Amino acid sequence: MTTRSLLTLGLLASTAFAAPNWAATSTTTVTKTKTTTEHETKTKTTTVHETKTETETKTKTTTLKPTVTITGSCSASAPLSSSTSVSSTSSSSSSASSSASSATTSPSSVISATSTTSSTINTNPTITKTATDVPTATASGLNVAAKNAGKRWLGTAADIPGTGEGADPYYLAEFNNANEFGEATPANTMKFFATEPQQNVFNFTGGDYFVQQAKASGKEIRCHNLIWANQLSDWVTSPAVPWTNATLTAALRNHVTKVIEHFGDDCYSWDVVNEPLSDSPAGAWAANVWYNTIGEEYFFQAFDAATQAVKANNLAVKLYVNDYNIEYLGNKSIAMQGLVKELKSRSLQIDGVGLESHFIAGETPAKADQVANMQAFTALDVDVVVTELDVRLNLPATAASESQQKLDYYNTVSACVSVARCVGVVVWDFVDTYSWIPSTFPGQGYGDLFLQPGGANTPLVKKEAYDGVLEALEGLAEIAA
């Protein structure tokens, strides 16, 4: 399945490009024509691998029926009845929508009052709006603003080496700008298929390159991920000899142990198990080769091996569980609380919960709902991180949907700012050019903080979403969509 060829970029790609002056770039008049959407479509090829498997995840969760649900987790979460959770979920959607419709007139006056320049943005051939690419907030970058807000960093996923990103000097200059990003998450290079292509034969070439590239600009790394349903090696999914509980458990533990050992404290944290929970029914165990063979013990075996590897190597690395649709209080989030409690009751190391936060403009949980959900986790004595934030919308973007998207970014980042143990926010890449969204959700896109109007290998332009993140980090009053 791993048809992706990882180019050896070596010193070529690690050459430091002079960082373009983004502020200067953003003051120029930018016409966002439909070439933007064409380009987003074109960029599918660079993220095919990630995209393909994410699609598999979503499909599987709706079609497979795990035979065991986490009933203990559900009942253990006494304070949150399921009916409360459900209504809170639906009200969050409607409140997001209503705030969108009730506040459509404000942004241009707000922005023009606080900015020195404005430019005409033509978001599609039929809609013209007056706005600005100049952030209304003042920090020199998102990571600087995040630190000022008491967060550890503002970070981004990146898919290097071996993709267009790794050869795009404008992408790399922004990625390497420590004022913008203080954390990096490898989108693919540390996943199972890449690190253990044959059983007990490890390949850390791509992962090591990523570490070197991220550390060169002082970034911490959320290493991602050890055990997941997808992007596995063929020897796991199509074994020559059928797995037994014992043989697959041994293979799982060996992978977790060896990979943690190799990267050591270059990892700020590891996503030990990725997406363990299902959406149908919400909060059940997700079916995958691990679960189907080992049962729910696979999850605890992974954390047990990770806990022991951290201890044996005297590491400071933090251990996380990461999932989506756990960004608001609902059955899946409550089931995740149950997993955290169970890990703790077994004295296994669990430091945090990753809230993926792949959102849709106008359907994002309200800020208060995200705060309440974060607090429900931190009350269990774990940290939270917004690990994969992006906000997709229907193409082409309109003035209204772009403003809504800005508000949605603002709300999630602002929620993290207001919860002390929300460590930081990580966006799932930062330029539409390299986003996984368009090929995974046809007709949707425009989900990231920057775009490249001229296509790959051309200057980046900040979108309104960037301003929304910066304004949230700087604690500016809630913006109107």
Ligand X SMILES: *[C@@H]1O[C@H](CO)[C@@H](O)[C@H](O)[C@H]1NC(C)=O
Q: Nearer Cβ to ligand X, position 34 or 58? A: 58
Of residues 12 and 23, the one with the C-beta less far from ligand X: 12
Q: Which positions ≥6 away from 197 have C-beta within 8 Å?
A: 2, 203, 233
> Could you tell me if 319 and 272 are in contact, meaning their C-beta atoms sit under 8 angstroms apart?
yes
Closer by beta carbon to ligand X, 124 or else 292: 292
131 to each of 105, 352, 449, how far by Cα in Å?
A: 12, 39, 16
Nearer to ligand X, 117 or 244 (CB): 244
Q: For residues 174 and 166, give the distance between their C-alpha atoms in angstroms, rounded to a whole number.
A: 12
Alpha carbon 350 to its chain's center: 19
Residue of 40, 165, 220, 275 marked catalytic: 275
Tell me the H-state helices in 115-181.
142-148, 169-175
Token pair listed for 253 = 């533990």
Query: Between 444 and 473, how does the x/- string for binding to ligand X read (CB under 6 A)?
Result: ------------------------------
Q: Is 82 in the site for ligand X (CB under 6 A)?
A: yes
Q: Which is nearer to ligand X, 70 or 407 (CB)?
A: 70
- Only one of the segments 118-126, 163-171, 200-208, 373-381 lies at the binding site for ligand X (rule: CB under 6 A); that segment is 200-208
Distance CA(476)–CA(468), nearest Å, equals 10
Rule CB under 6 A: say whether 281 interacts with ligand X: yes
Residues 125-164 that bind ligand X (CB under 6 A): none
| Distance from chain centroid for Cα 294 | 28
**What gap in Å lies between CA 153 and CA 232, rounded to an integer?**
30
Output phi, psi for 471, to 5 deg. -65, -40
CB of residue 143 to ligand X, shortest distance in Å: 27
Catalytic hit among 388, 402, 464, 471: 388
342 in helix, strand or coil? helix
- Least Å distance, CB 434 to ligand X, is 18
Which of 25, 97, 179, 203 binds ligand X (CB under 6 A)? It is 203
- 275 catalytic? Reply is yes
Residue with nearest beta carbon to ligand X? 206
Query: Nearer Cβ to ligand X, position 199 or 205?
Result: 205
Q: Of 48, 76, 86, 103, which lies in the binding site for ligand X, with binding defined by CB under 6 A?
A: 86
> What minimum distance in Å lies between the beta carbon of 270 and ligand X?
19
Active-site residue flag, 474? no
Separation between Cα atoms, residue 211 and residue 238, nearest integer Å: 30
The one segment of 197-205, 222-230, 341-349, 387-395 that binds ligand X by CB under 6 A: 197-205
Using rule CB under 6 A, residue 76 touches ligand X: no
- Which window, 11-19, 167-175, 199-207, 447-455, contacts ligand X (CB under 6 A)? 199-207
Per DSSP, what are the bridge partners of residue 120? 130
**Binding piece for ligand X, criterion CB under 6 A, among 169-177, 258-266, 269-277, 294-302:** 294-302
Bridge partners for 226 per DSSP: none
To ligand X, the closest distance from the beta carbon of 186 in angstroms equals: 11
* Residue window 205-244: x/- pattern of binding to ligand X, with contact defined by CB under 6 A: xx--------------------------------------
Residue 235 burial (10 A CB sphere; 0-12, 13-18, 19+): middle
d(CA 252, CA 373): 31
Based on CB atoms, which residue is closest to ligand X, 64 or 74? 74
Question: Counting contacts by CB under 6 A, is residue 398 touching ligand X?
Answer: no
Among residues 38, 234, 265, 297, the one that binds ligand X under rule CB under 6 A? 297
- Minimum distance from residue 188 beta carbon to ligand X (Å): 10
Choice between 20 and 295, CB closer to ligand X: 295
294 binds ligand X per the rule CB under 6 A: yes
Structure tokens at 260: 């943690």
Contacts 24+ apart (CB under 8 A), 87-90: 88/328, 88/329, 88/330, 88/369, 88/372, 89/328, 89/329, 89/330, 89/365, 89/369
Q: Does 6 bind ligand X (CB under 6 A)?
A: yes
**Closer Cβ to ligand X, 171 or 298, answer by number:** 298
d(CA 311, CA 415): 33
Q: Is the peptide bond before 281 cis (omega within 30 degrees of 0)?
A: yes
338 binds ligand X (CB under 6 A): no
Nearest residue to 406 via CA among 159, 175, 136:
136
Selection from 351, 257, 273 nearest residue 312 by Cα: 257
Ranges within 46-75 binding ligand X (CB under 6 A): 74
Nearest distance from C-beta of residue 361 to ligand X, angstroms: 23
| Residues contacting 404, CB < 8 A, separation 6+ | 100, 361, 362, 393, 481
Nearest distance from residue 461's CB to ligand X, in Å?
A: 31
Contact residues: ligand X, CB under 6 A:
6, 8, 74, 82, 86, 197, 203, 205-206, 245, 281-282, 294-295, 297, 331
**Catalytic positions, please?**
275, 388
